[in-house]
Amino acid sequence: MTKVGNNRRVSRRPGVPVDAAEALGKNRSDFMLDRRYFTLDGEAFATFMGMLDQPPDPNPGLRRLLTFKAPWE
């Protein structure tokens, strides 16, 4: 069974965000908005840090946006 929650996402397990929020001492809204906190084991952390250390892939759209002169300039 699926249920649509207030966060406008369809969840097959509607209690999961609520349970996770309670575990962190937050309400569901704050939990859904705060994606800064997550845990990793040592190996996953090393992999994650390796990905952060890599230069970003070329992004022509972003390059174009950042070189576009603002109308007020």
- Give tens-digit pLDDT for 31-69: 777 777 778 899 999 999 999 999 989 999 999 999 988
Task: For the chain, give every domain's residue range.
Answer: 3-67
The residues, any chain, with a CB within 8 Å of residue 21's CB and separated by 6 or more, are 27, 28, 30, 31, 32
Rounded to whole angstroms, what are the CA distances from 62 to 58, 66, 70? 9, 6, 15
pLDDT of 2: 47
